[in-house]
Amino acid sequence: MTDADSAGRWRELLEGAGVRRASLSGSGIFRDGASDAAVRQIFFDDRSGPGRW
C-alpha cells in the first residue's frame, strides 16, 4: 500500500497496512446483502479461522 507521499513513487508497505485475502465457496448458501455484510465483518474482525464461526 502506498500513498502520494511515497519517496520516488516506489511501492512501500505503510505502517499498519497489509494485504488480506479471503475465498468462500459452498453450495446451498443463501446470499443476500445482509449475509455478505456478515461474512465481510467476520473476516475483518479476524474471526475467519477454522472453527471460529
In the chain, domain spans: 7-44
pLDDT score of 21: 72
Q: Residue 42 CA to chain centroid, in angstroms? A: 10
pTM of the model: 0.40
Q: Would you say 42 and 53 are in contact if contact means Cβ atoms under 8 Å apart?
A: yes
Q: What is the DSSP letter of 13?
A: P
User: What is the sign of the dihedral through the CA atoms of 39, 44, 49 and 53?
Assistant: negative
Spans of the chain, pLDDT less than 50: none
